[in-house]
Amino acid sequence: MSELRVGYLGLGLMGKPMARNILKAGFDLTVWNRSPEKCAELQAMGAKVAANPPELARNCDVVITNVSDTPDVLQVTLGEGGLIEGLHPGLIIVDNSTIKPAASRSIYQTLKEHGVAYLDAPVSGGTLGAENRNLTIMVGGDSEPLERVLPVLQAMGKSVTHVGSSGAGQIAKAANQIMVAAQMIAEAELLVLAQKAGANPVKVIEAIKGGAAQCWTLDVKPQRLFAGNRAPGFKASLQAKDLNIVMETAREYLVGLPVTALNTQLFNAMVAYGEGDLDNSAILGTYERMNDVFLQVPEEKQD
């Protein structure tokens, strides 16, 4: 068992399986979640449960946070009752959330003044990647604390890349979400075109995913959609949140992103329609309503 005492804060769709993999890798794990009942499964597997974030920080060498948005990270890290009240020399705080790069840099600077290291380490791969220890982890921050926590990160993901200084991990995640959104929307458009123009969508996917259009989205998502499964691997509301972070960052640095701006509005519309808890690939529904056509999988004809 590793000598590192690891804390994990935030046991949502992604956080719980990530924490479970840390525990399976043999680390001494303590967890905390705003909804305490989410700790029960990990406690039954041998994890300790902290009473609050300051206690989590005091009793761990590394604390990993994974919550929904920038205000949540600021609260659990620097706010009243947050990790900041339990800081100690040598502590490393790693954030797996997706937040504004500017906020990550601000947290880094504040914690540095307290003698505590901070890494922004957002992840990509969705719930399946979290469950299968198959995540891509993008890290911003100093190299020395990264070297120390690398075994913990490797317990959660297949790929860990040190992108650069503080905030660089969040910038890489913003870039990732530009591509993810574009793929989900392109998939929706091609499926609706195939359906309405009279081609079998299943055969269309089969025909194109082995060529220049091949991508992770076409390898993984159509099968779920064809089966009528639009439950989240990654919630559309989080996709919309991430895209809005992209656009805020683009405004900050005067970067023109016209296609991503449109994609952001499409996901915002999906959330406004009440479909934010569906998978991000369920943006298909927005296109179905727009075009008055709904995905159907034709039955195979017997010769």
Residues acting as catalytic residues: 173
Q: Which are the contacts of 46, defined by CB distance < 8 A and separation ≥ 6?
A: 23, 29
Both tokens of 124, joined, read: 């990509």
**Nearest one of 243, 240, 221 to 230, comparing CA atoms:** 221
Determine the 3-state secondary structure of 139 from DSSP: strand
Q: Which residues contact 174 (CB under 8 A, 6 or more apart)?
A: 101, 242, 245, 246, 249
> Comparing C-alpha atoms, which of 140, 147, 145, 144 is closest to residue 162?
140
Q: Is 57 in contact with 87 (CB distance < 8 Å)?
A: yes
The two structure tokens encoding residue 274: 């009440």
Determine the Cα–Cα distance for residues 167 and 102; give it in Å rounded to an integer: 7
Do the beta carbons of residue 46 and residue 77 sit within 8 Å?
Answer: no
